[in-house]
Amino acid sequence: MKPVNHKAWFLVAPVLLLVAISAIIPLMTVVNYSVQYVGSTGRFAWVGDEWYREVLHSEKFWNALWRNLVFSGVILAIQIPLGVLIALNMPRKGWGVPTCLVLMALPLLIPWYVVGMIWQMFGRVDIGLMGVMLRDFGYNYEGDPMDAWFTLILMDVWHWTSLVALLAYAGLVSIPDAYYQAARIDGASKWAVFRFIQLPRLGRVLTIAILLRFMDSFMIFTEPFAVIAGGDPVFLSTELKQTVELGKKAAMSIIYFLIILAVSWVFYAVMTRNDGEPTSADKARGGGA
């Protein structure tokens, strides 16, 4: 009998070590906190799933979660179509290309907190350009949660639509010319070209754009913190910031993390479900076997 050598497993060790340090161990410490009560003297006491139950029964948590979901939904509904529309209208050659790319990249280069500050000032009803202009319509983000909400959405669209546009642009320029030529031969309208060539070919980059924008918007913290400094509307992240007990904080973090993981996975699974479709050649091989 041939002896089996398991030494090859050692080759995986460096990766395991890296993943352990970068992800597993920090996460497990959070898990550890979430099932204990941490006293002011540094004493730990086992409390089981008590923190989790408290979080899941708190109305504040559910309200924050709901606001987060609606926020992400709204900004996705605006940024994705808008980004694609911008990408479709960006020039494909000449000096317009670098100009457009640089202009589009500008908002992405501004630090989050600065973006928050810019909009905080921009929206002020006493000195901000937008605030003053909208004052007569009753706009005041400091007093009205809906106005604050509106400001945050506007800010996020301003900050991140260009990311979607740049991704979509990259997707568009990678479509071979032959597709457009064939469409011209087939007499396809502009809409048909978009519907049957551009949109399907953008599928993958849009998947990435949606995932990135969802995760990022769902975790939004810095900007609302800068703009409304802990006032309404409260997101999960700002709610987390306001929570004092370490154990509850940890439990909330775990729940938050699991929600993002689950939703991202659902998005990904739904959007890539067609990719794995077997080719007829595969089927023929399968049938012959």
Partner 1 sequence: MARLDLSNIRHIYGPPGEGEPQYALRHVNQAFEHGGAYALLGPSGCGKTTLLNIISGLVHPSEGRVRIDGVDVTDKPTEKRNIAQVFQFPVIYDTMTVRENLEFPLRNRGVAAAQIKRRVDEVIEMIGLGALARRRARGLSADEKQKVSLGRGLVREDVSAILFDEPLTVIDPEVKWTLRTQLRELQRRSGMTMIYVTHDQTEALTFASGVVVMHEGQVLQVGSPKDLFEKPAHTFVGYFIGSPGMNVLPTKVDGAALRIGEYFAPLTSEPRLRGNPKLELGIRPEFVRLAAEGIPATIERIEDIGRHRIVRTRMLGHSVTALLQEHEPIPADPHLYFEPEGVHLYADSWRVELSGKPAP
* Site residues, partner 1 (CB under 8 A): 178-179, 181-182, 184-189, 192, 196-197, 200-201, 274, 277-281
> Could you give the CA distance from residue 247 to residue 151 in angstroms, rounded to a whole number?
33
CB 126, min distance to partner 1, A: 53
CA atoms within 13 A on the CB side of 225: 14
Q: Which is nearer to partner 1, 86 or 206 (CB)?
A: 206
DSSP SS3 for 189:
coil
CB 164, min distance to partner 1, A: 21
- Give yes or no for a contact between 202 and 165, defined as CB atoms under 8 angstroms apart: no
Q: Which is nearer to partner 1, 146 or 173 (CB)?
A: 173
CB 45, min distance to partner 1, A: 57
Q: Which is nearer to partner 1, 102 or 192 (CB)?
A: 192
Q: What DSSP element (H or E) covers 175?
A: none
Cα–Cα nearest to 101, from 198, 170, 176, 158: 170
The token pair that represents 230 in the structure block? 């802990």
Q: Which is nearer to partner 1, 49 or 186 (CB)?
A: 186
CB 182, min distance to partner 1, A: 4
Q: Which is nearer to partner 1, 12 or 269 (CB)?
A: 269
DSSP 30-55: HHHHHTEEE-TTS-EEE-TTHHHHHH
> Could you give the CA distance from residue 223 to residue 225 in angstroms, rounded to a whole number?
5
CB 194, min distance to partner 1, A: 12
CB 176, min distance to partner 1, A: 8
Q: Is the dihedral of CA 118, 124, 128, 134 positive or negative?
A: positive
Q: Which is nearer to partner 1, 137 or 191 (CB)?
A: 191
Question: Distances from the Cα of 269 to the Cαs of 71, 164, 221, 235, 275, in angstroms?
Answer: 22, 20, 27, 26, 10
